[in-house]
Amino acid sequence: MTASLARVVPALPLPAAGFERTTDVVVVGSGAAGLMTALALAGSGRRVVVVTKGALGDGSTRWAQGGLAAVLGNDDDVALHLDDTLVAGAGLCDEDAVRALVTEAPAAIALLRDLGARLDLAPDGRPALTREGGHSRDRIVHAGGDASGAEVTRTLVEALAGAGVEVLERTVALDALRSARGEVVGLRVARVADDGALTDAGDLRAHAVVLATGGYGQAYAAATSPAGATGDGLALALRAGAEIADVEMVQFHPTVLWQGPGATGQQVLISEAVRGEGAVLVDGGGRRIMPGAHPLADLAPRDVVSATIAAHLAATGEDCVHLDATGLGADFLARRFPGILAACRAAGFDPATEPVPVAPGAHYTCGGVLADLDGRTGVAGLYAVGEVACTGVHGANRLASNSITEGLVAARRCAALLDADLPAGAPAAPRPVATATGAIDPAACTAIGTATSRYAGVVRTPGGLAELAGTLAAAPRLTGPLDLAAVEATAVHTVATLLTTAALARRESRGCHRRTDAPATRPEWQVRLAHRIDGTGHLLTRTVPLAAQTTDQDQGVA
Ligand code: SIN
């Protein structure tokens, strides 16, 4: 079945370096995790360069609606947050990582407030808390009603402005520089011109590179993530020798505004917090669909709600279900969810007066660079924080609003680790970078996205995954010069290849991964699937016992 999958991961034909500079740490990406890492490192006097392919703050964080999960309520306890996260994660969470997350989350929220974040407050002056799917208590902190990510981003961007961090916008990280001993000692980067051409390539040498590049939602034709979420950091890390895990665990948000078949690009999200405030999912006849499917009904963990909707659509032949928020009232909706109300109305739907059409859509990618919550990967000098990392916090299905919280907690831990560990003196010299061929032509992206959406969605079949594998194997190779679109297409192809490999190998259903031919969750599959490449670029896949994430014993699944 996997025979037609490309076994050699495409590499980039790197432009020659026209400059070389040295710093302490390079941070790639400028969502919450990257911004917080840079801020914390600068606070301890380290020289930091932030590289971002768009503008500062352009990451996925700024689109987040719901908020940040943390134990702040009088009736709450970190043990409950721990339990809820483990239950949602469907057996693939790393319990120690989750415990660290839930324990440190309140301090991360307090730091945000100290930095000036304008959180929505309860009458007693403490952060107002709401609930989302899978949470047993109200513990979602929010801002601007449904503009939580935008406020986090504003806060961190403003804090960074005075912190002495150098920011290279419109600059793409191409590949890691590695020393003779294999450690990462910097990055080959290039400026991105308005037309996407790469100019002014050069080397940033550093003791450490922290990837905070976000996820790979754009491997799908349509997703809630922004256009830049193409998995560049995962592909770069793979080429640098790191392991990538849980790539098959793509979380589908149950309530993405449905705007007809064939929608592409970034979609309109309708926050789970709308259900947290009382909205319900109904079918075309107004009948509720979640009671009976799960004890938490509309607030079941996200994978359960999306799978229930998918089953309903398959059984009825309908294209979408509906979110009925009319019971919340126009005034409440306008106050609590102003952005969602405006986006729905702009698309021709009014949640205040009618149930709006929704369907599951690719939203968050639980897979990433295998790392601990301090950001350590298996490659010395390379760190990963936030959505690009697979720390075991999310397991097979992320608990709602744990992601920005994880980004902030991991960023602070990673910065503390680096501050304590960075060696004195200059970084080791990089060995010459190899020139390569085989990058993917951006023209491949439409076919890859269409096939990924069709065959690696909420429900998967071996036949469909084989079709996806065929699409990937047939992807045209780049013939012209490397540009940003080709860097992104190569990353999309790489992550889609890992996703397909893992989804074919994992013969069970668990969390975000559901196979029609293997509907049960099977104890022998309570393992991660981790991928790396060998010295010739060949893909190797192994199973990783949950307690042994940093070992590298090859068990040869692929
Ligand atoms: C939402 O607001 O429903 C999304 C929150 C999240 O993905 O954690």
Longest dimension (CA), the chain: 69
The token pair at 129 is: 């808390």
Residue 107 lies in a domain: yes
Q: Are residues 305 and 187 in the same domain?
A: no
User: 215 and 114 share a domain?
Assistant: yes
146 assigned to some structural domain = yes
Distance from the Cα of residue 337 to its chain's centroid: 23
Given this model, what pLDDT does residue 479 score?
94
Most ligand 1 atoms within 8 A of CB, residue of 101, 131, 305, 364 to mutate: 364
Whether 383 is in a domain gets the answer yes
Place of tokens 């032509």: 441
> What's the pLDDT at 262?
86
Nearest CA to ligand 1 atom 8: 401
Same domain, 329 and 395: no
Helix axes 403-421, 148-161, angle to 10 degrees: 20
Q: Cβ contacts of residue 42 below 8 Å, gap of 6+?
A: 48, 160, 163, 164, 165
**pLDDT value at position 57?**
86
Q: How far is the CA of 400 from the centre of ligand 1 (A)?
A: 6
Q: What is the pLDDT along the chain (558 residues), one digit of tens a residue?
A: 444 566 789 999 999 999 999 999 999 999 999 999 999 999 999 999 999 999 998 889 999 999 999 999 999 999 999 999 999 999 999 999 999 999 999 999 999 999 999 999 999 999 999 999 999 999 999 999 999 999 999 999 999 998 999 999 999 999 999 999 999 999 999 999 999 999 999 999 999 999 999 999 999 999 999 999 999 999 999 999 999 999 999 999 999 999 988 899 999 999 999 999 999 999 999 999 999 999 999 999 999 999 999 999 999 999 999 999 999 999 999 999 999 999 999 999 999 999 999 999 999 999 999 999 999 999 999 999 999 999 999 999 999 999 999 999 999 999 999 999 999 899 999 998 877 878 999 999 999 999 999 999 999 999 999 999 999 999 999 999 999 999 999 999 999 999 999 999 999 999 999 999 999 999 999 999 999 999 889 999 999 988 755 434 333 333
Q: Let me know: does 356 contact 344? Beta carbons within 8 Å.
A: yes
Q: Is 31 helix (H, G, I), strand (E, B) or coil?
A: coil
**Can you list the alpha helix ranges (DSSP code H) found in 115-193?**
148-161
Q: How far is the CA of 481 from the centre of ligand 1 (A)?
A: 38
Distance 68 CA to ligand 1 centre (A): 9
pLDDT for 557 equals: 39
Q: Quick check: CB of 252 below 6 Å from ligand 1?
A: no
Give yes or no for a contact between 2 and 231, defined as CB atoms under 8 angstroms apart.
no
Which residue owns the Cα nearest ligand 1 atom 1? Answer: 271
Same domain, 299 and 351: yes
Structural domain includes residue 17: no
The answer on 139 and 73 residing in a single domain is yes
Cβ of 444 closer than 6 Å to ligand 1, yes or no, is no
Q: Is residue 186 domain-shared with residue 258, that is, in the same domain?
A: no
C-alpha of residue 509 to centroid of ligand 1, in Å: 23
CB 130 near ligand 1, within 6 Å: no
State whether 264 and 406 are in the same domain: no
CA of 440 to the centre of ligand 1 (A): 32
For ligand 1, say whether the CB of 243 is within 6 Å of any of its atoms: no
Residue 259 resides in a domain: yes
Q: How far is the CA of 140 from the centre of ligand 1 (A)?
A: 10
Answer whether 65 contacts ligand 1 (Cβ < 6 A): yes
Q: Which of 99, 275, 302, 460 is catalytic?
A: 302
Ligand 1 pocket, mutate which of 135, 271, 275, 302 (most atoms under 8 A from CB): 271
365 lines ligand 1 (CB under 6 A): no
369 touches 237 (CB < 8 A): yes
Asked whether residue 303 falls in the same domain as residue 185, the answer is: no
The answer, yes or no, to whether any atom of ligand 1 lies below 6 A from the CB of 401, is: yes
Three-state SS string over 421-478 comes to HCCCCCCCCECCCCCCCCCECHHHHHHHHHHHHHHCCCCECHHHHHHHHHHHHCCCEC
Q: Please indicate, yes or no, whether residues 256 and 131 belong to a single structural domain of this protein.
A: no
* Residue 299 and residue 254 share a domain: yes
Q: What is the CATH number of the domain that holds 289?
A: 3.90.700.10
CATH code where residue 119 lies: 3.50.50.60
Q: Let me know if residue 544 belongs to a domain.
A: no
Domains held by the chain: number: 2
Q: Are 113 and 210 contained in the same domain?
A: yes
Residue 49, token pair as written in the block: 């360069």
Q: Is the CB of 305 under 6 A from ligand 1?
A: no
Q: Does 216 map to a domain?
A: yes
What gap in Å lies between CA 296 and CA 298, rounded to an integer? 6
Whole-number pLDDT of residue 261: 86
CA-to-CA separations, 272 to 130, 133, 299, 376, 487, in angstroms, rounded: 10, 7, 8, 32, 33
Ligand 1 contact, 225 CB (< 6 A): no
Shared domain for 326 and 208, answered yes or no, is no
Is residue 31 within 8 Å of 211, Cβ to Cβ?
no
* Catalytic residue check, 181: no
- Residue 475: per-residue pLDDT: 96
pLDDT value for 219:
97
Output the pTM of the full model.
0.95
Range of the domain at 153: 25-248+363-421
Residue 477 inside a domain? The answer is no
CA–CA dist 352, 356 (Å, integer): 9
